[in-house]
């Protein structure tokens, strides 16, 4: 299957699962069990392109990974590469799959120094008008990856925390805040949760 057909297959499948949102917009939707299925589908697609000699753990993170939590209908995934020297090898492989490489997008959003062991990618439609997936890639035991997993696990374990986070997200959405500011405005809540 060539790249264009494979990407079209991924896009149509994700759309069926209710994944996809206009770029730069914020649209909070009620949690849907299909999001878990969408992640499983994407995980298998990515595993199918990984070289056999690169060990990479693929995790579902972000709000779509927390049952019951409303979220933007964009999958957040985390790729944990066990050998840091393989990070750069995976960039062109993910690009060939259809991901747009963003460098250290976290540092761009927060205005911090770029981290060479933290990489981000987006998966768009061909016109690059709709977001479907945001991927984070780090080496094993990197603080960014550990923070994403810790935050996910804390909210999965605490309905109270999940409800607080949802209330914040809905308020920001109702206030009509733009995407980058929406992301920044959640930072203090997230930092409070992941202080470990």
**Lookup result for tokens 């977001």:** 131
Beta strands per DSSP E along the chain: 21-22, 56-61, 75-81, 100-101, 118-124, 130-139
- The residues near 158 (Cβ < 8 Å, ≥ 6 apart) are none
Residue 27 pLDDT: 86
Segment 23-40 mean pLDDT = 92
Between 128 and 4, residue with greater pLDDT: 128
- Lowest average pLDDT, out of 58-72, 90-104, 165-179, goes to 165-179
Q: Are 96 and 45 in contact (CB under 8 A)?
A: no
In the chain the domains, ranked by start, together with CATH numbers, are: 3-188 (3.30.460.10)
Length of the chain: 196
pLDDT score, position 108: 73
Residues above pLDDT 70, as percent of the chain: 91
For 6-19, the pLDDT digits (tens) are 899 999 999 999 99
pLDDT at 196 over 60: no
């Amino acid at each position: 299957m060539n790249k264009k057909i494979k990407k079209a297959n991924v896009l149509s499948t994700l759309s069926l699962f209710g994944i996809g949102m206009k770029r730069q917009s914020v649209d909070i939707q009620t949690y849907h069990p299909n999001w878990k299925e969408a992640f499983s589908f994407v995980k298998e697609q990515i595993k199918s392109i990984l070289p056999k000699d690169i060990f990479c753990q693929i995790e579902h993170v972000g709000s779509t990974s927390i049952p019951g939590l409303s979220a933007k209908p964009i999958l957040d995934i985390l790729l944990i590469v066990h050998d840091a020297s393989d990070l750069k090898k995976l960039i062109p492989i993910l690009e060939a799959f259809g991901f747009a490489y963003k460098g250290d997008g976290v540092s761009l959003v927060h205005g911090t120094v770029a981290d060479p062991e933290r990489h981000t990618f987006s998966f768009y439609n061909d016109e690059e008008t709709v977001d479907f997936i945001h991927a984070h890639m780090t080496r094993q035991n990197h603080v960014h990856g550990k923070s994403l997993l810790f935050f996910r696990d804390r909210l999965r374990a605490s309905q109270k925390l999940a409800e607080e986070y949802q209330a914040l997200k809905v308020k920001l959405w109702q206030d009509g805040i733009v995407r980058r500011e929406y992301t920044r405005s959640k930072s203090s809540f997230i930092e409070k949760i992941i202080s470990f």
